[in-house]
Chain A
């Protein structure tokens, strides 16, 4: 399996989701694998594919605050993408040995990257599954997610299309998820998440984390060829995905 590394620029939510979906197309077509590292500009609230956002979050307040919003193609629950780095892996499932081994292998890379920065990361024990209506993503860890000091530092979700996987996740650098907790009416709750800067007692930058993840991924998966989001391979798949993720009927479907 040939791996490609896409260290992307910051984009709006609808563009970010379209690029991830295009990478899934490419992985399905050609059997290549992609690791993408990116940020969100403007900062963005993303909902899970089946999350009942209309009844779970304060929609009026989201509108009043002028927040950028997108619905992901993957499962899970809401994430506020601000002081964080997002990773995406699009790849055939077979070389990983299936969906669950892929989830574990990718999180092992994230945990290893955090350890290389000095963080004492661990993977969450298997627990009960949470419904899409259970509230913000970072409010509770799910089995296999990356923790520091028992608190969730990475929230991930998957989309399986046939034998191909898209997994993306948010790694908190400095921001907490209090905004999304407040939108869910959980404003006074003790945060269940940790940021890397908090845990390490120093500022961890986007570039530092991005390089650490790329290095850990190369150690785990082998060499990676750089690729640009402007490449023709990706660009040809973008338009139909961009239309979907810009569509308010998609974002506010439930």
Chain B
């Protein structure tokens, strides 16, 4: 059964959003369900700090067992930090999707956009958990 923590928000594209790094900054990664569906992650391609993305725009790509998938920004904002540790150890996304396996930190254009994301209960319904 996939882990869906209660303190996070989610998207239909299987990304999570964690508040609390700093005011207006959210941490983004892929969910435990997503990493399980992808299989062994072998590469994560992330943007550079300063790049801006609109909601639902692809901010990077992830490769697992020869399958490449887009990573979609849950909300609009500017990248302020990326998880450089994924370069050397992309499999951490499988081992620890919500902690060491985070991908980018985003300065959100409109904090109210985060409120509109899926609740843990809604995301559990979507994935049948």
Interface of A toward B, CB cutoff 8 Å? 48-50, 73-76, 98-100, 103, 128-132, 142-143, 156-162
Contacts and interface: CB of A to CB of B under 8 A. Distances in A.
Contacts of B45: 50
Contact of A156 (B41, B61, B66): B66
18 contacts: A49-B61, A49-B68, A50-B45, A50-B63, A50-B68, A74-B68, A75-B43, A76-B66, A130-B42, A131-B42, A131-B90, A132-B42, A142-B66, A157-B67, A158-B66, A158-B68, A159-B67, A159-B69
B39 interface: yes
B1 interface: no
B65 A160 contact: no
A129 B70 contact: no
B15 interface: no
B68 A73 contact: yes
Closest 7 pairs between A and B when the two form their complex, measured CB to CB: A129-B40, A158-B67, A76-B66, A75-B66, A160-B69, A50-B43, A75-B68
A145 to B, nearest CB: 9
Given A50-B45, A50-B61, A158-B68, 11 more contacts: A48-B66, A49-B63, A75-B64, A75-B68, A76-B66, A100-B37, A129-B39, A129-B40, A130-B42, A132-B63, A162-B13
Interface in B55-114: 61, 63-70, 90
Interface of B: 13, 37, 39-43, 45, 61, 63-70, 90
Contact of A142 (B61, B63, B65, B69): B65
A129 B39 CA distance: 9
A143 B65 CA distance: 9
